[in-house]
Structure 1
Amino acid sequence: MTESTQHGQAQHGRPWVPWLVTALVVLMSGGMMYLAHRGTSRAEALAEQSRQSAMDAATRARDAETARLQLEQKLAALEAERTQLATEKEQLSQTVQEQEAELAKLKATYDDLQDKMKAEIADGAIRLSQVEGRIQVDLVDKVLFDSGDASISARGQEVLTRLGSVLAKVEDKSIQVSGHTDDSPPSQKLQSIFPSNWELSVARAVNVVRFLQDTGGVPARRLVAAGYGQMRPVSTNATPLGRARNRRIEVLLMPDLPSKRTPAAAVQRAIAGGAATKAQAKPARGAK
């Protein structure tokens, strides 16, 4: 048998070989395509995962920055609050120190007045009191004036000289001197000079103020004169003892507010000064 004959017989004997080759080629191509698609999908999944991770990281970074800014704001607020509290504490401490110093000065003035006026305080002619940063000295009229008179008596001058020696050393108080009477009107003899208790009380207050300024050395800018007549009694007018208590001069030491002086105070001093001029121009003595 020839070689060509043998080859022809071999081909006729294996007709499935071409199909097998084709199938193998197709399978290999499909496998390669599948592997390529799978690789592409995996790459896309990894890329998407990377993008999502990047977005998450960016979000976390923004959140962290926001948290950092909020923390800085809170720290700044806490620091501002701490500074404010420290300032308030310092101011409070300073205020307490000033108040303690003020109380110490007030007590020194009170003790000085008590020492200088101890004889009059003992016999009830002068009452000394201290309330809420104020000192008040009440002098019954007979200590300073003769009955029905606005001129200061010899005894009154001696008492006011001692009082002025204390008041002249007071540097941070306004000193209001106010005159008060009982409800009995001035006698007919005196009504030409003092038509009512208003004029009498004002004249007495102004004369005390002028004496404290001229003789006692109390600065005029600290002095205020006022007259209340019978309008502010401290006792009943139904008894001689009550009327005697109502006829008085009050000297009130009050915290000084130089930046808030009111026009009313200036007007009051001017009116009081006019009344004093009239009273001194026509001194009168008589029964009240």
Structure 2
Amino acid sequence: METERGRAWVPWLVTALVAVLAGLVLYLAHRNTTAADAAAVAAATRASEAEAAKLLLETKLASLEAERAKLSTEKDQLNTEKEQLSQTVQEQEAELSRLKATYEDLQDKMKKEIAEGAIRLTQNGGRIQVDLVDKVLFDSGDASISARGQEVLTRLGGVLSKVDDKLIQVSGHTDDSPPTQKLQATFPTNWELSVARAVNVVRFLQDKGGVPAKRMLAAGYGDTRPLAANASPQGRARNRRIELLLIPELAARRTTVLAKSTAAKPTAAKPAVLKKTKGGK
């Protein structure tokens, strides 16, 4: 009887053992699953970090490549600018050499008039300016070129005809005294007189001096650009002049536009039908 009672708890023990074993199995299975999940999460995190690092490196590489391309372009531009600058320097040196040769040739050909003060020769900023007082070229009050003026312009044309890289602007200037009543029928104002004289000089340099017409222009400024005060005979004499300005081709376009906008039209004068008269300008 006692034996049967002793055996009665065995099923309970077995059941308890089975329950414990089942719980242990479930616990171990859960622990293994959690560890595997953690490992998977860690692996995914490492993969994500590696991908981010890869993207960062690719971004930096692309930035460096863009910078390299930019520097390469800038290098090419600098090389191009260097070549252009070198070419510009060579052209300027050649221009200065031609300018010097022209200036010295003018000094030699016109040395008599320069010594007399009848011609002023100046050089500034790549330009050569030849100022001829009116009495060298014209009789008083006349726009026709005198015999002496023709001789002077012939020598001057011999130099200018060899200048093929400059525009030659010929401008007439007067003092502030109006033309005499006798002259007003032909030259109502100093505008007409200054233009007529400039036109006649251009025509002579073309016809007798061999200077190409396409390299010259004529302008008249009347009494608007004096060199000296008109209060004295000496000052008025300085203001009555013909200016020849030799302008490099690049600057010539601007000067041409300026001259056309400020000078009187040559057709306003009648220089070809004049007779030499005494008195007046």
TM-score per shorter chain, which class? 0.7 to 0.9
Aligned partner (choices 140, 144, 152) of residue 147 of structure 1: 140
Change in CA separation of 1:13 and 1:184 when aligned onto 2, cut-off 3 Å: closer
CA distance in 1, matches of 2:6, 2:192: 158
Q: Following superposition of structure 1 onto structure 2, how do residues 89-100 of structure 1 map, counting pairs within 5 Å?
A: 89-100=82-93
Q: Following superposition of structure 1 onto structure 2, how do residues 40-189 of structure 1 map, counting pairs within 5 Å?
A: 40-189=33-182
Aligned partner (choices 269, 282, 285) of residue 277 of structure 2: 285
For the residue of structure 2 that corresponds to 1:139, the secondary structure is strand
After TM superposition, the score normalised by the length of structure 2 is 0.86
CA distance in 2, matches of 1:138, 1:264: 17
CA distance in 1, matches of 2:179, 2:7: 161
Q: Check whether the contact 1:190–1:284 (CA below 8 A) recurs between aligned residues.
A: no
Q: Check whether the contact 1:200–1:229 (CA below 8 A) recurs between aligned residues.
A: yes
For the residue of structure 2 that corresponds to 1:101, the secondary structure is helix
Higher mean alpha-carbon deviation, 219-228 vs 191-200, is at: 191-200
> Superposition RMSD on alpha carbons, in Å?
2.8
Please tell me whether Structure 1 or Structure 2 has the larger radius of gyration of its CA atoms: 1
Instruction: Give the letter for the 1:106 counterpart.
Output: L
Percent of aligned positions with the same letter in both sequences? Answer: 64
CA distance in 2, matches of 1:12, 1:190: 165
After TM superposition, the score normalised by the length of structure 1 is 0.84
Q: How many residues align?
A: 278
Q: Following superposition of structure 1 onto structure 2, how do residues 233-248 of structure 1 map, counting pairs within 5 Å?
A: 233-248=226-241
Change in CA separation of 1:14 and 1:151 when aligned onto 2, cut-off 3 Å: same
Q: What do the CA deviations read for 1:123-168 (whole angstroms, capped 9, x no partner)? A: 2111111122221100011111122221212211111111111111
Cα displacement (A) at 1:199: 2.2
Cα displacement (A) at 1:50: 1.5
Cα displacement (A) at 1:177: 0.9
Q: Check whether the contact 1:126–1:139 (CA below 8 A) recurs between aligned residues.
A: yes
Change in CA separation of 1:56 and 1:266 when aligned onto 2, cut-off 3 Å: closer
Change in CA separation of 1:16 and 1:35 when aligned onto 2, cut-off 3 Å: same
